[in-house]
């Protein structure tokens, strides 16, 4: 029987089932292995990932979706688009040169890094200043040939398209949006892409997956012109290559214009498109000469699909596009690899989970059903699992539902306005001019990680572990006092991750055993799973904060993670609205905030670093998202008295997009990332009269390089050009968990010295 429905994958997770890839990177960075050993191990992991997809029966398997750090950085390195400060090359970059761009050196700050669309993955931002593009390495051909030779796989090379590459980058510190700049850069890049495609064609490559995710951000047909120019050029120079033009994360608005592009298949997201891609197809149709690569499985969450529903969707799509590839909505980079290590969790949850491997298996079942093969047992098993989860008591807590329904205006407002609060807080806290602090976390040393691992494995008693954590808190309180910081933190040594930790403490959350996902480079996070109604069980952070405060006369901040960041960095139940889940979390955290205040903590930081990253890709969906974010933050924070100072922290944000929302949060102090983007974010505050207190991060904690006192001083002075000195706080960009103790002590000592210099100059003036 002819199979009219085939399967495809857009990308496979890089980490390895037990984070082997992470361990490989870090071994190389510690100089424990050389380049040759690294390459042997990396190849073994690449081939293992391909073998699994082959065994699962994927028709079109992606190749070159692997990376040694980040796929955008890979493209930059292949095309000699590395920032000018790292040099220009006429050969492929060595590993050390490649990692220097990502991680920085003693002399050069690393390339900027920001979130990949509305995910928690960070990509390396291209810098197009003074670059001389040329093809240094056809990595797509290398990895295609590797798969062909080793496993006889005729893979589908995955390459980031030139227009999206341009739009994801910057010129003179500003993202590329002007049509003239896009066209100029496109003229430089197209011949290089042409070389890649011609070499692929000569080798016998059949299909190329050309990712152009920025297509979903367009609103008008004329914006499609550079993409059409790109597709026409590649078709002309490599006519034997079949191109699947791949989009994801939302719908395409200029649908007709995109459908006319000279490509052989178009990939559409039918999960995160708000139903709009299907509506377009039903109203406009789909080209009969193209294959529809239908993203019908959620590649951004971990719940099993309703397979009967997906079969029906596929059959509906077949009425408009007879040739269909079934695939995830986006690369599986954003989900863990396999559920096989999670069998210890409740059966009603376990059987309803689908990580990357399970999602690929789901595609196979749906394809078989649509190809008239008998999959009755699989469909029945799927329905039983979904029904068991739907009816589980943990999804129907009457008290939680009642509290959400009882929310009223009093739970969304502080008792007094900011100016009244500010005077009360200034009298209570007695902080100096330009107060210094940190964002919250201190280095998670090898000793800290080893102690935690031993405790989790039952090799260390609760008492012994708590004693160790207390000793680290005390040691770092003393270090902060010695450095001279004005507002201290306890260091968060008990937390592996700012979201995972709260997920372990709140009802309705599940901490997976091996559900790791890449955030950036070797940095892996293990997002908690929100499986049921969320409720407060017991104090979460109070004991550590109170202990730290007992050690010093200086104020110690209580540290909690805000609702939107928790939900954006978690895998969220999909049977109720996200806004409802946010409010459940907010009501639980409100109890924690009140308990901290009652215990004598005078400053409470409610971190919301993921606020901007979660913005919908289409502006028309922003307001509902932002309104829900503000509501949840206020539910969390507005119960405290006027003298309690509420802080929040945000990072990797284009703040001009959300400046009104930042104001509406009504936090007393906000700290934001600015150093890595070299102060560009400060420009958002040049156009806005921001009246509350603010800490503009003055050094980049993601780089191993420690800035000089003069550099930090310059960053402070840059901030003071747009912020009233009476409102200004001095702090690093983000938490210091990933840095070494030596780096942190040197950096904070220089930060304090830089602040003191600025204060002295201000006094002299």
pLDDT in tens, 278-299: 999 999 999 999 999 999 999 9
Domains contained in the chain, CATH given: 432-764 (3.20.20.210)
At residue 681, the pLDDT reads 62
Which two tokens mark 62?
């992606």
Cα-to-chain-centroid distance, residue 420: 37
Residue 613 annotated in ligand binding: yes
pLDDT grade for 700, boundaries at 50, 70 and 90: confident
Q: What is the 3-state secondary structure (H, E, C) of 585-599?
A: HHHHHHHHHHHHHHC
| Candidate list 397, 621, 702, 762, residue with the active-site label | 702
Beta carbons of 488 and 548 less than 8 angstroms apart: yes
Judged by DSSP in three states, 527 sits in coil
pLDDT grade for 652, boundaries at 50, 70 and 90: low
**pLDDT tens figures, 598-641:** 999 999 999 998 888 788 999 999 999 999 999 999 999 999 99
* Residue pointed to by tokens 């390195």: 77
pLDDT grade for 719, boundaries at 50, 70 and 90: confident
Roughly what angle, to the nearest 10 degrees, separates helices 95-103 and 20-29? 100
pLDDT grade for 1, boundaries at 50, 70 and 90: very low
Beta carbons of 61 and 121 less than 8 angstroms apart: no
**pLDDT tens figures, 490-518:** 999 999 888 889 999 999 999 999 999 99
Pick from 405, 359, 362: nearest CA to 381: 362
Q: List residues bridging with 529 in a β-sheet.
A: 510, 571
Residue 115 annotated in ligand binding: yes
Has residue 688 got a pLDDT over 80?
no
Residue 116 annotated in ligand binding: no
Has residue 685 got a pLDDT over 80?
no
Burial 163-175 (b: 16+ CB within 10 A, else e): bbbbbbbbbeeeb
Residue 673 annotated in ligand binding: yes
Judged by DSSP in three states, 5 sits in strand
**How many Cβ atoms sit within 10 Å of the Cβ of residue 356?**
27
At residue 524, the pLDDT reads 93
Residue 526 annotated in ligand binding: no
Q: Which residue has the higher pLDDT, 96 or 677?
A: 96
Q: Helix H segments across 666-708?
A: 683-686
pLDDT grade for 683, boundaries at 50, 70 and 90: low
Has residue 684 got a pLDDT over 70?
no
Q: Mean pLDDT across the stretch 61-83?
A: 97
Beta carbons of 157 and 243 less than 8 angstroms apart: no
- 27, exposed or middle or buried, with CB in 10 Å at 0-12, 13-18, 19+? middle
* Helix, strand, coil percent values for the chain (each to nearest 5): 45, 15, 40
At residue 609, the pLDDT reads 86
**pLDDT tens figures, 187-211:** 999 999 999 999 999 999 999 999 9
Beta carbons of 244 and 263 less than 8 angstroms apart: yes
Pick from 591, 638, 668, 228: nearest CA to 420: 668
Residue 627 annotated in ligand binding: no
CA–CA separation, 626 and 341 (whole Å): 36
Which two tokens mark 648?
């929040």
Has residue 340 got a pLDDT over 90?
yes
pLDDT grade for 675, boundaries at 50, 70 and 90: low
Beta carbons of 412 and 587 less than 8 angstroms apart: no
At residue 698, the pLDDT reads 86
Is 702 assigned a catalytic role? Answer: yes
CA–CA separation, 362 and 369 (whole Å): 11
Pick from 354, 343, 348, 355: nearest CA to 395: 348
pLDDT grade for 697, boundaries at 50, 70 and 90: confident
User: H-helix or E-strand containing 176?
Assistant: none
Q: Mean pLDDT across the stretch 350-377?
A: 97
Pick from 12, 22, 361: nearest CA to 153: 12
pLDDT grade for 691, boundaries at 50, 70 and 90: confident
Pick from 333, 383, 411: nearest CA to 637: 411
Pick from 454, 541, 468, 453: nearest CA to 504: 541
Q: Mean pLDDT across the stretch 144-166?
A: 98
Residues in the chain: 765
* Residue pointed to by tokens 């939680």: 400
Residue 481 annotated in ligand binding: no
Local structure of residue 488 (DSSP, 8 states) = B
CA–CA separation, 618 and 277 (whole Å): 14
Has residue 567 got a pLDDT over 80?
yes
- 274, exposed or middle or buried, with CB in 10 Å at 0-12, 13-18, 19+? middle
CA–CA separation, 85 and 98 (whole Å): 13
Beta carbons of 661 and 409 less than 8 angstroms apart: no
Look up the pTM and report it. 0.91
At residue 358, the pLDDT reads 98
pLDDT grade for 653, boundaries at 50, 70 and 90: low
Range with lowest mean pLDDT among 222-226, 314-318, 452-456: 452-456
CA–CA separation, 466 and 598 (whole Å): 23
């Amino acid at each position: 029987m002819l199979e009219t429905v085939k399967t495809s994958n857009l990308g496979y997770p890089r980490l390895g089932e037990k984070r082997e890839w992470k361990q490989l990177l870090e071994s190389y960075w510690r100089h424990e292995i050389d380049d040759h050993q690294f390459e042997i191990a990396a190849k073994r992991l690449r081939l293992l990932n391909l073998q699994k997809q082959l065994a699962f029966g994927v028709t079109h398997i992606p190749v070159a979706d692997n990376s040694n750090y980040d796929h955008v950085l890979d493209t930059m390195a292949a095309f000699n688009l590395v920032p000018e400060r790292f040099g220009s090359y006429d050969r492929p970059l060595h590993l050390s040169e490649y990692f220097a761009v990502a991680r920085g050196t003693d002399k050069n700050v690393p390339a900027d890094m920001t979130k990949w669309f509305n995910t928690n993955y960070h990509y390396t931002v291209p810098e197009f200043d003074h670059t001389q593009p040329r093809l240094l390495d056809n990595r797509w051909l290398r990895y295609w040939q590797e798969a062909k030779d080793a496993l006889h796989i005729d893979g589908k090379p995955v390459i980031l398209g030139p227009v999206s590459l341009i739009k994801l980058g910057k010129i003179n510190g500003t993202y590329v949006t002007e049509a003239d700049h896009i066209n100029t850069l496109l003229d430089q890049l197209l011949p290089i892409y042409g070389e890649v495609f011609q070499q692929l064609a000569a080798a016998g490559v059949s299909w190329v997956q050309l990712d152009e995710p920025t297509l979903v951000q367009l609103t008008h047909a004329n914006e499609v012109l550079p993409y059409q120019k790109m597709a026409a050029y590649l078709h002309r120079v490599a006519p034997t290559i079949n191109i699947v033009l791949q989009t994801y994360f939302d719908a395409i608005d200029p649908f007709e214009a995109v459908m006319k592009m000279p490509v052989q298949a178009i990939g559409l997201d039918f999960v995160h498109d708000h139903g709009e891609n299907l509506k377009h197809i039903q109203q406009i149709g789909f080209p009969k000469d193209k294959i529809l690569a239908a993203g019908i499985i959620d590649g951004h969450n971990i719940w099993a699909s309703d397979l009967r529903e997906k079969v029906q969707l596929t059959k509906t799509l077949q009425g408009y596009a007879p040739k269909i590839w079934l695939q995830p909505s986006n690369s599986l980079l954003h989900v863990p690899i396999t559920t096989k290590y999670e069998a210890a969790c409740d059966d009603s949850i376990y059987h309803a989970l689908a990580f990357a491997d399970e999602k690929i298996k789901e595609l196979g079942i749906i394809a078989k059903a649509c190809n008239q093969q008998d999959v009755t047992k699989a469909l029945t098993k799927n329905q039983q699992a979904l029904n068991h989860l739907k009816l589980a008591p943990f999804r129907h807590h009457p008290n939680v539902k009642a509290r959400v329904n009882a929310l009223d205006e009093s739970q969304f407002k502080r008792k007094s306005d900011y100016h009244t609060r500010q005077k009360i807080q200034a009298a209570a806290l007695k902080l100096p001019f330009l107060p210094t602090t940190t964002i919250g976390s201190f280095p998670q040393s090898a000793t800290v990680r080893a102690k935690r691992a031993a405790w989790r494995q039952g090799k260390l008693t609760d008492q012994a572990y708590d004693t160790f954590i207390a000793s680290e808190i005390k040691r770092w309180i003393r270090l902060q006092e010695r450095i001279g910081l004005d507002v201290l933190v306890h260091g968060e040594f008990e937390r592996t991750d700012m979201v995972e930790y709260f997920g372990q403490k709140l009802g309705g959350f599940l901490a997976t055993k091996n559900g790791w996902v890449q955030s950036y480079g070797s940095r892996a996070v293990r997002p908690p799973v929100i499986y049921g109604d969320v409720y407060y069980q017991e104090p979460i952070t109070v004991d550590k904060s109170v202990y730290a405060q007992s050690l010093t006369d200086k104020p110690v901040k209580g540290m909690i993670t805000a609702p939107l960041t928790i939900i954006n960095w978690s895998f969220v139940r999909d049977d109720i609205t996200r806004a409802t889940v946010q409010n459940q979390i907010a009501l639980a955290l409100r109890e924690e905030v009140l308990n901290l205040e009652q215990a004598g903590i005078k400053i409470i930081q409610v971190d919301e670093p993921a606020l901007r990253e979660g913005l919908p890709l289409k502006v028309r969906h922003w307001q509902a998202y932002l309104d829900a974010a503000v509501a949840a933050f206020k539910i969390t924070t507005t119960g405290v008295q006027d003298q309690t100072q509420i802080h929040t922290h945000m990072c990797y944000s284009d703040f001009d997009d959300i400046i009104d929302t930042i104001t509406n949060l009504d936090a007393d102090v906000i700290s934001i990332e600015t150093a890595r983007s070299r102060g560009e974010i400060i420009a958002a505050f040049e156009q806005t009269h921001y009246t509350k207190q603010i800490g503009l991060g003055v050094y980049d904690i993601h780089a191993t390089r420690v800035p000089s006192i003069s550099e930090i001083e310059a960053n402070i002075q840059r901030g003071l050009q747009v912020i009233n000195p009476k409102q200004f706080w001095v702090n690093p960009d983000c938490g210091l968990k990933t840095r070494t103790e030596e780096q942190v002590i040197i950096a904070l000592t220089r930060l304090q010295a830089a602040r003191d210099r600025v204060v002295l100059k201000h006094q002299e003036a």
